[in-house]
Structure formats: C-alpha cells, structure tokens
Amino acid sequence: MNRQPEETSFLSGLPEDSDALKNYVSVLERLSEMKELYRERGWPLSVCEATFSDLELWAKEHQENTGVFGISAHLLDWFNLHLHGKIVRLGRLQFNTDSIFGGYVKVFRNRTDGGRCIICNGGLSIDADGLRSHDANGWLTTFAESAEKTEGNQVEKNGRIKREITTLPAAEWQLELTYGEPMINIHIPAGEPITADLCINSFHQAADFFAEHLPDFKWKGFYCHAWLLDPILQELLPEDSKIIQFQKLGHLYPVGGETETIKRVFGNSGIKGTSNPNRMRKKLAEFISAGGVFHNGGMFIMKDEF
C-alpha cells in the first residue's frame, strides 16, 4: 500500500535563523484562506489583492532597515486583521473596522448651526505649546459636566489645547463623539504620496464599501493617530506640504505616547546618518538641534464631512 506524502509547509525548508522571512511566508501561505473569505462574503477580490499588498510593503521596509527581507513577529497580529477581513485597502488608504475611537476628547455638536467643539478629557498633562506633555511637568486639563453645561479645555483648530476653560451650555450643544464609540481607524501604507484628492477618494470608496458589504456596522466616521498629525509640523513645513494638506482634511486633537517622527523621516540611522538631507529633513533637523520635541497627533472626520 502506497503512503501519501505528508503535506509540508515551505517554512520547513527555510534556515533556522531566518525568522523575519519565516514570518513573511507564514502570512503569505494564508493568502488562499483570505481569498476564500472574500468569496464567501461577496467582496471584490481586487480589494483582497490591494489589501494583501501591504505584506510586500512591510517586508521591503524591513529589508531596508535590517538588510533582511521579511517582517517582524510583532506584525503577525496586524496581518491577522487583514486575513480576517478587519482591514481593507480602498484606494490610497487602509481602513480598520476592528477599532473604536481612541481619542481622550469629547466632540460636541451645536444644535443650531452644526458646528463642532472638541473638549479634552480631564487629567491630561499639557506642555507650554498646548500639546500632550512627555513628562509630568505640564499643566492638567479639567473636565466637568452637569445637566446645564459642560466645561473643559478646548482643542483649537490647529490641534493645540487652550488653557482657558470653555463652557458649552447643554441647551446649545450635544455630545456627538467620545472615547470607545465605533469609528474606523485609518492607516496610511507606504508608497505613493498622500495627496488630499487621493485621500478623499479613499474616504468615498470606504463609505460605499462598508454601506454595501457591512450594512449593520454603525460607524460614525474615521480617525487616525500618527506622527504626521503632530501640530508642530504646521510651523515647520510649507502650506502646500502633503502632510499639512492631510492634516487639514479633519479635526486635530492631542495624542500621547512616543512618536516615530525621527524614524519615519530620517530612518533607523537617525538625523546624523541620513544621506539625503532634503528640505523637510533639514527643517526638522534644525528643530531638533534647537531642542524641539515632536508629538503624536490624532485626527477625526465625521461621516457628514467628506
């Protein structure tokens, strides 16, 4: 009786020291599983292919940074979201539905003219520039609400927090968005520039896609946390910068934590190791040399704003 050969994975033939490549292949081997999911759901396979192209982008970045083609182990959870249909790429942007609004702010809507006002949650440490402080030496935001009014520190249009207290009468303002509510998270994959037109086109594609394929998903809008949403960049980059134009698509708000600005702009070698000091790098390097500090930033866009 002939024995059937045991099914083996390509992973078994890779050198033991090629962890990054093994991680890459472990995701690649599940592409057929992802395609089957799309077929079952009636989703376009073109969206599957566009979404899965993220694997190649991350693998090439890993190779540029380390000399080894593949992906780091910490990205395996990220790609599980792709494989299970939680992240889709539509046009220039990726959209993550396995997410909730992560901003420590509350958004209020004016009952008469529809205007929006962003108020910080209480207890956030703010530095002298009106941004999230990197230490405990900043001043603290306050927040209070009652049946008659809401009081707190307002986030201005430029993403900075006012120290003066803003009062919103309940008769004139209603709560529209707060932490934990259903919002779709935007991710900007590497590649082509992030022009405003391309992003707006992606927003419309996403709205149409989710309306057709996830009609029961009641989301309120999009949000993004990223180094390129740092309000400080408005002082360093020209008005026509694609980063600044992206910031202007939505409402900025403060985000804490470490930022990837230096890594994203200068690479792993840092400021001194860059071999291509373009206009943006020169400006940011001057800012850092003068003692400047970068921040993370957040942005949201409600469904009725695009």
Number of domains making up the chain: 3
Let me know if residue 50 belongs to a domain. Answer: yes
Would 172 be classed as within a structural domain?
Answer: yes
Query: What three-state secondary structure class fits 186?
Result: strand
pLDDT number for residue 221 = 98
With CA atoms as reference, report the closest residue to 143 among 134, 151, 135.
Answer: 151
Do 111 and 136 lie in one domain? The reply is yes
Task: Decide if pLDDT at 1 tops 70.
Answer: no
Assign 281 a pLDDT band (cuts: 50, 70, 90).
Answer: confident
Write out the residue range of the structural domain in which residue 46 sits: 12-85
Instruction: Please report, for residues 103, 149, 171, 196, the alpha-carbon distance to residue 224 in angstroms, rounded to integers and kept in the order given.
Output: 9, 29, 31, 15
282 in the same domain as 190: yes
The dihedral built from the CA positions of residue 32, 34, 38 and 44, taken in this order, carries a sign that is negative
Note whether residue 59 is domain-resident: yes
Boundary-marking domain end, from 158, 177, 196: 177
The pLDDT of residue 3 is above 60: no
Write out pLDDT tens, residues 108-128. 999 999 999 999 999 999 998
In this structure, the answer to whether residues 156 and 23 fall within a common structural domain is: no
Residue where a domain terminates, one of 177, 211, 241: 177
Q: Which amino acid is at 198?
A: L
CB 96 within 8 A of CB 81: yes
Share of the chain above pLDDT 90, in %: 75
* Within a domain: 2: no
Average pLDDT over the chain reads 91
* Mean pLDDT score, 196-209: 97
In a domain, 3, yes or no: no
H-helix segments, the chain: 19-28, 31-41, 45-52, 54-66, 76-83, 196-213, 233-236, 242-247, 261-266, 270-273, 279-289
Asked whether residue 203 falls in the same domain as residue 145, the answer is no
CA distances to 95, 161, 175, 242, 289 from 57, rounded to whole Å, are 16, 36, 39, 21, 31
Phi, psi of 26 (to 5 degrees): -65, -30
* Most distant pair of Cα atoms in the chain: their distance: 85
Residues 221, 298 within the same domain: yes
Give the CATH number, domain containing residue 234.
Answer: 3.40.630.120
| pLDDT tens digits along 120-163 | 999 999 998 899 987 778 899 999 999 999 999 999 999 999 99
Q: How confident is the model at residue 9, as a pLDDT?
A: 52
What's the CA gap between 89 and 79, in Å, rounded? 13
- What pLDDT is recorded for position 2? 46
pLDDT (mean) for 203-223: 97
195 and 236 together in one domain: yes
3-state secondary structure of 92: coil
pLDDT above 70 for 100: yes
pLDDT at residue 34 is higher than 60: yes
- Looking at residue 174, its pLDDT comes to 98
| Measured distance between the N- and C-terminal CA atoms of the chain, rounded to whole angstroms | 66
What 3-state DSSP class applies to 285?
A: helix
What is the spatial distance between Cα 286 and Cα 302, in angstroms, rounded to a whole number? Answer: 36
